[in-house]
Chains A and B, each alone.
Chain A
């Protein structure tokens, strides 16, 4: 499975946010999208999920144009973990996870035993089973994030898009969530795009990095090629130092 942007421009009514995006992500691969605030990272995720249609260019999953697929079909292929959202707080965690089956149900919307089994398996994987029967409103930010990841995986997607999955998480939970995503990408053969603010997390957990600045992809490649002082200075507009992480050996970015 491959998700591919072919010369895509994205924007809203009067403004173009991103232009000439060309990139592709394959099964088992994690692409990190970075760039300064407001550059359009979330817009890229919206374009990749199809809720925002390109102003020009096309987004493909394998050889199919995303715009030609029904919402239902899209949701069977692409799942999204949205950026820290307000959840309907009285819903139970397991019911939220089961919403991931929406695109697989018949018109009466009855969940079958196999739908429940899938949700249960995913909840084991994401370690959310322990609070399955609790209201999502009483869960911590990290637990809610894992519930949303579980919901996305319950869609049984080939492509997983995550918008700032570590926002509002402490160091331990950042690490846990990203490890989880990494192992899922490898085990479930998912093509993953995630946006992140923290460049050091990007360096450690992603296979390739796309650096956005001024509405375009400035550089795309592996972390060592993209996270250089020159590129980062040009994108963020400040002096940035890059050294090696003493333990992981990945690039370590310091301001």
Chain B
């Protein structure tokens, strides 16, 4: 047997490979953001957007040669909406990657253990039971959805416990069962309240109905905390890929990490669903895209899936806003229509390489 040390050049190259995904996805996200704020009933040229941002954020001395309405459109309408779309996509991408890693299952997505159905139930309850639109100054629908999502995940986790452990299989099965139950209740509420049905369906399909900076600021803490936690949890996720027993033998407190990963991923996904509705496919496909491009190491996969999620949802949202303009479609329809065939394409490609 011959010993060949890795040559230093190869080491340097692998370092370089670690940097470039950040640059590529970072640039893609920036371009998608610009594109998203530029497109709309009134087009603002991307270069003007950059100059307006520079003027506003960096207090640069730039002569404002744009119409005054541009500032209102950009800073009060488009930018908050775009930021919320980006954050939602990032949340779905990052939490989707975490769920797939935790369940070691390529079909897992952020909704697998009840976030979506729980949020749906919460939101539809708030709509159909004639609760006031705001309570203690909070918009009630997102608050109800958020609570619904977290309560559902907690119930699923509690149901899935076997003794002192939470086996992954029972967690998935409990998630499926509880989701079905919550969805049935949601459907019932919708049927009983026909005047709210249209609104409820639009919400469930995933549309960005909320406007202004308020929802962005309300959701931001959950996104930041949850995604930061997932970044820290990426190495334990790597260790969990070897199965519970080996992970324990490697010294990982498996049960505790499962709980923390579920909590962080659900927090992020719940925030996304509550403020943007149930957007399908992004949380399923984006982690696969990131994995195909940058490999299975969760230390890279989690941040890359997060950034890629932002890009993908921004582009889908632009399509949803423009394809039948002036009508806006729920973005969930676009992600599913474009996502399903793209997913099949990915699966065909995945057969040709080891990527899991």
Contacts and interface: CB of A to CB of B under 8 A. Distances in A.
Contacts of A132: 6
Interface stretch (B36-44, B111-119, B241-249, B313-321): B241-249
Nearest to B252: A102
B295 interface: yes
Contacts of B239: 99, 102
A155 interface: yes
B237 to A, nearest CB: 10
Contacts of A16: none
Contacts of B10: 133
A246 interface: no
Given A51-B248, A133-B6, A88 B296 contact: yes
A40 interface: no
Contacts of B238: 91, 95, 99
Quick one: which of B14, B246, B356 has the most chain A CB within 10 A? B246
Interface residues of B, number: 32
Interface of B is mostly: loop
B356 A89 contact: yes
Given A99-B238, A109-B235, A137 B354 contact: yes
Given A82-B246, A102-B250, A133 B296 contact: no
B276 to A, nearest CB: 31
A124 interface: yes
Interface in A46-70: 46, 49, 51, 70
B245 A51 contact: yes
Contacts of B251: 71-76, 102-104, 155
Contacts of A90: 295-296, 354-356
A195 B214 CA distance: 63
Interface string A123-162: 0100101101101011000000000000100010000000
A61 B296 CA distance: 36
Interface string B328-356: 00000000000000000000000000111
